[in-house]
Amino acid sequence: MRSLINQGTFSKFKYAGVTERLLQFIWQLRYFNKNGLVTTKGETLEIIFPGIYNSNQGPDFSEARIKIANTTWAGNVELHLKTSDWDKHGHQNDKNYNTVVFHVVWEDDTNNHQITGNENDKPLPVLELKDKVSKLLLTRYEDLMNSSTFIPCQQTAHSVPGIIWKAWKERLMAERLIRKSNTIENYLLQNNFHWEETCWWLLARNFGMNVNADAFEQIARSISMTILAKHKHQVIQLEALLFGQAGLLKEKFTEAYPKMLQKEFKFLSRKYNLTPVPCRIFFLRMRPGNFPTIRLAQLAMMVNQSAHLFSKIKEASTVDVIKKWFDVTANDYWHYHYLFDENSSFKKKSLGATMIDNLIINTITPILFAYGHHMHEQKYKDKALTWLECISAENNSITRGFEKLEIENKNARDSQALIQLKNEYCDNRRCLDCFIGNAILKS
């Protein structure tokens, strides 16, 4: 940190890119020259504790301790780019700011006109920081914000020590799983906390991949677990239900197999009062092996070969057991077809190792982690994280981008962390909230 606190690096540097979040970052970590601090009124000043950062409504920092002259103040601290922002933001009329004891600003623009607003209606002491912050830190931050590369810190990310990367990836992985747990919690609220039903919805969504995920989820929601259980031993009926609800049995077919599915669906839809879901199924720009027809056929076989899937997932001892359950192949008709009424050369339509890994990463481990989170049982959360370590690293544009920067991506746990980093931090320029961005700014 010597490069930032050396007296010679501080100057009256004109920097237009300061934001309130950057100012909060500087204050929280005390990345400013602390020698000879005084308020705008010339009173001596010592920052004993800058306070606890508050990302919610109210003052920016709480429980701060500030010594001004011979008096130590304890309370909240508010930060603004300019002193006059206090009034512009209406804090003088907001009782949430009555307990503010100190005002930190980038620039004091009040010409010694005192701002009041604490509960005693006394003038707030103000600290101006614009001449006390390292030019180097500001320049580095500006470079990060203006970068147009894959990630803002592309030129320096590899130089951050491995121990920081490891700790940050652990945090990112937890964030990602908790975010997915919140989504799963919403599903549970919709079906009266039926974990098996939720697992079915998530599984179907994942079979739809990115393009047809929403449509596949709607199909799953339209066919309850109760209906599936009654027909789970008849894969033809399962296919009829899935293809029918997807709206893929409305054509005038020539082959016997799709005609049979039509007949089955006509009977089942009347029996259960089913109506095809109002969604489009997309085939464009897909490899034939990923066609929704193939995925629906594989999903039907998955249901056929597994019962009480979520209960089995909870009890599974290793991820290899899960892989065996998912090692399914669509029925014989699909060995010669990718679409109804269109013959193709013979190829067994097995789910494939990559798709199985995808299902474990995006369905199985999140719902297992969510269950542990919901039930306050750490063993399920630990199992989910362990399984991710046993799955091969994902190969996509994000992971390849990090690998080019020599950032380790050795398993799915790494991959998920890197995807979280890119999507939630790098793309949104949240460098101040990132361990790696912090390390670069203060190095």
Which residue, 344, 371, 389, sits at the end of a domain? 389
Q: Give the per-residue pLDDT at 15.
A: 46
Q: Residue 8 — very low, low, confident or very high, per pLDDT cuts 50/70/90?
A: very low
Which residue, 350, 369, 389, sits at the end of a domain? 389
User: Which of 113, 112, 114, 27 shows the shortest CA–CA distance to 78?
Assistant: 27
* Amino acid (one-letter) located at 331: N
Same domain, 136 and 179: no
Is the separation of the CB atoms in 204 and 220 below 8 Å? yes
pLDDT 10s digits, 98-137: 889 999 999 999 865 566 655 556 788 999 999 999 998 9
Distance CA 269, CA 287 (A): 31
Share of the chain above pLDDT 70, in %: 94
Q: Is the pLDDT of residue 13 over 80?
A: no
pLDDT 10s digits, 341-385: 999 999 999 999 999 999 999 999 999 999 999 999 999 999 999
Does 437 fall in a domain?
A: no
Same domain, 251 and 138: no
Distance CA 89, CA 240 (A): 61
| Contacts of residue 128, Cβ cutoff 8 Å, sequence gap at least 6 | 40, 83, 105, 106, 107, 108
Q: Give the per-residue pLDDT at 114.
A: 60
User: Which of 54, 32, 165 shows the shortest CA–CA distance to 442?
Assistant: 32
Does 163 fall in a domain?
A: no
Q: For the residues 414-430, what does the mean pLDDT come to? A: 97
Q: Is the pLDDT of residue 4 over 70?
A: no
Q: Give the per-residue pLDDT at 7.
A: 34
Q: Is the pLDDT of residue 315 over 80?
A: yes
Same domain, 198 and 312: yes
User: Which range of residues forms the domain containing residue 51?
Assistant: 2-146
Does 414 fall in a domain?
A: no
Distance CA 15, CA 11 (A): 11
How many Å from the N-terminal Cα to the C-terminal Cα in the chain?
Answer: 6
Share of the chain above pLDDT 90, in %: 86
Same domain, 52 and 197: no
Number of domains in the chain: 2
- The set of long-range contacts for 344-347, using a CB threshold of 8 Å and a minimum separation of 24, is 344/288
User: Which of 64, 32, 71, 60 shows the shortest CA–CA distance to 50?
Assistant: 64
What stretch of H or E contains 67? strand 61-68
User: Would the CA dihedral through 380, 385, 386, 387 be positive or negative?
Assistant: positive
Which residue, 95, 130, 146, sits at the end of a domain? 146
Q: Where are the alpha helices (DSSP H) in 6-151?
A: 20-28, 85-88, 135-146
Does 180 fall in a domain?
A: yes
Same domain, 180 and 323: yes
pLDDT 10s digits, 24-83: 999 999 999 999 999 999 999 999 999 999 988 899 999 999 999 999 999 999 999 999
Q: For the residues 396-419, what does the mean pLDDT come to? A: 97
Mean pLDDT estimate for the chain = 92
Does 114 fall in a domain?
A: yes
Q: Give the per-residue pLDDT at 113.
A: 54
